[in-house]
A and B are shown apart, each in its own frame.
Chain A
Amino acid sequence: MSGIRKFICGDDAVAEGVRLSRPHVISAYPITPQTIVVERLSEYVEEGSLKARYMHVESEHSAMSCAIGVSSVGARAFTATSSQGLLYMAETLPYASGARLPIVMMNANRSIATPWNIYGDQMDAMFLLNSGWIQYYVEDAQEALDMMIQGYRLAEDPEVMTPVMINVDGFVLTHTYELVEIPDQAGVDAFLPPLKMPLNSMSLEAPKSLSISAGNDTNMEFNMKQHLDMLAAGTRIQAVDKAYGQAFGRYYHGALEKIRTEDAEVILITAGTVTGTARVVVDRLRGEGKKVGLVKLRVLRPFPVEELTEALKGAEAVGVLDKNISFGYEGTIFTNVNSALMARAMTPKTMNFIGGIGGRDITKENLIEAYDKLFGAAAGQPLERVQYMNVRCDY
């Protein structure tokens, strides 16, 4: 099943994916580099190609509050944000996830002030890793479009009922134009049927009061059940992706993609667009006979411990590229990867490569150097465990 092809940017692709998903209400507050998404959606609503209510709210906090209301009555909600907007919205995110509302949100990954900066890194989403939202990171515009549709199917799965955040790297993806195939509406309608909410939805026909309080006698069980369901959602991520692949011919390998890892001595782990640059580097180094591999981590919550440790089996050194810093410790993904390795009693050398902060470019040469250091670590060289890519200051 193939649709038409357009040369569009990542933000355009997100808007196309949202239109095909037929949300009932879009609540929007613009912020660079997300703005094009909500501009396009307002145009679609205006021209009638998307039958939805468009609410231009006064803040991101209101955008998510509105989405929560929409989802509470069993309608499909969409919003999008970025950076400070996501942080301003933060208080409302666990309200949505705890209420098990299947909202889908696009986050254009952008750095956090201070210093203020509009360029891309992944600091913003890392703040919300504990918000109870499923988190995807995408590599290109096609995946951004496809994941909007997959996101609703996953969020609305009766076994999941958890909101989904699709992370799209600011500028390098949101503002970069490439060829994207737009699936046809009939195909998407078949893949993503209208939302059927469970019995506890609010309704004008059967009004009820939904108590959102849970005291110390039940609160922990609510949180535990939410957590256990999120863990179980891992299998649904794979199933939804497979079903999408069967319907549209594009399959993203579930929570992570293994790139030439089978006999790799050293493996680098990436999330988001830098994966594309790393693919080129892996092919080049393999051409020189170096046994390097790459893992594209697509989902950070639920964290794919099984798939990841299976992919890293046999590696002598594992590097993690983090476009974020957890101040006072290290890159956030690095901490998660080490914990997964420890849980399976695996002991490769591990190194953290922190890069791309505030939109700093990550070049092929930077990645080649990272692989060189991983080979060094594998050979027992004493190297700093946390490395910073492409910086001008000493550490």
Chain B
Amino acid sequence: MIEIRWHGRGGQGSFTASRILGAAASVYGGINAMAFPSFGPERRGAPVLGFTKLSESKITDRSEILAPDYVIVLDESLWHEGVKVGLKEDTVIIINTGDPGPYQEEVSQRVVGADVTPVALEIIGLPIANIGMMGAFAALDETVSLDHIKKAIEDGMKSGMAVKNIRVIEKVYASVKEALK
């Protein structure tokens, strides 16, 4: 079981990303997935969480994710908003930044930077990093393939946005892969 916790602000699409990743894994990837938001009232701009569980076997456990394998942070300003809660030794933190250095200094876990906002601004014209961050995840972990994520984006978004987001995710995927070499 791989458990992912998404940190975003209301309106940034962290839950949309957690859901599209779940769809990519299950509808196209043939494994099992579950995705859910932090439950409750939705407020624009407030820190919100999204969760994705991925597993080869059927997922029946609906309890909260307490010890995530991946923590994906859509917005650097959320670093102090519970990002460090429940980290395991081998938890990987993926953060939307051009410089992960200062964050890496604060935690012993591996921190991977993905500079998604400039890519989103260039291609979509808006600082929406949610889908792009999935590209960084796919570059780090092979559980869900980039092709399956692209299919789920085509399914789950309006066609204009889907085309642009697919360009974003391809670019982020390539740049993170390159950085990992």
Contact = CB atoms under 8 A, between A and B. Distances in A.
Interface of A: 5-7, 118-119, 139-140, 171-173, 175-179, 273-277, 279-280, 359, 361-364
Given A274-B62, A279-B61, 9 more contacts: A5-B27, A7-B27, A7-B152, A119-B40, A171-B39, A172-B39, A176-B36, A177-B19, A273-B62
A119 B62 CA distance: 14
B66 interface: yes
B50 to A, nearest CB: 10
A232 B60 CA distance: 32
Nearest to A180: B26
Contact of B35 (A172, A176, A280, A361): A176
B27 A359 contact: no
B107 interface: no
Contacts of B63: 277, 361-364
B25 to A, nearest CB: 9
Contact of A178 (B34, B37, B64): B34
A96 B173 CA distance: 57
Contact of B41 (A118, A172, A176, A280): A118
Contacts of A6: 27
A7 B26 contact: yes
A280 B63 CA distance: 11
A320 B61 CA distance: 19
Contacts of A359: 39
Most chain A beta-carbon contacts within 10 A, residue among B23, B32, B40, B41: B40
B36 A175 contact: yes
Contact of A179 (B32, B41, B66): B32
B33 interface: yes
Contact of B60 (A177, A179, A276): A276
Main secondary structure of the interface of B (DSSP, over half): mixed
Interface string B56-96: 00011111101000000000000000000000000000000
B22 interface: yes
A271 to B, nearest CB: 14
Contacts of B62: 172-173, 176, 273-274, 276-277
Contact of A277 (B33, B36, B61): B61
6 contacts: A6-B27, A171-B36, A173-B62, A176-B62, A276-B61, A364-B61
B61 A280 contact: yes
A140 B62 CA distance: 9
Interface of B: 19, 22-23, 26-27, 32-37, 39-41, 59-64, 66, 152
Contacts of B36: 171-172, 175-177
A179 B27 CA distance: 7
B39 A177 contact: no
A280 B39 contact: no
Contacts of B19: 7, 177
Most chain B beta-carbon contacts within 10 A, residue among A139, A179, A275, A362: A179
Contacts of A363: 63-64, 66
Contacts of A177: 19, 22-23, 33-36
Nearest to B34: A178
Contacts of B26: 5, 7, 178-179
A176 B65 CA distance: 13
A305 to B, nearest CB: 27
A279 B60 CA distance: 7
Contacts of A361: 63-64
A139 B61 CA distance: 10
A68 B26 CA distance: 40
Nearest to B24: A7
Nearest to A170: B39
A116 B5 CA distance: 28
Given A119-B40, A359-B39, A7 B33 contact: yes
B27 A176 contact: no
Given A7-B19, A7-B26, A7-B27, A176 B34 contact: yes
A372 B180 CA distance: 47
Contact of A119 (B27, B33, B39): B39
Most chain B beta-carbon contacts within 10 A, residue among A119, A171, A177, A359: A177
Nearest to A7: B23
Nearest to B1: A280
B60 A175 contact: no
Contacts of B34: 176-178
Contacts of A119: 39-40
A5 B152 CA distance: 13
Most chain A beta-carbon contacts within 10 A, residue among B26, B41, B63: B63
Cβ-closest 4 pairs across A and B: A276-B60, A7-B23, A171-B39, A176-B36
A176 to B, nearest CB: 4
A7 B22 contact: yes
A257 B31 CA distance: 25
Contacts of A275: 60
Nearest to A120: B39
A178 B18 CA distance: 12
A277 B60 contact: yes
Nearest to A140: B60
Contacts of A176: 34-36, 62
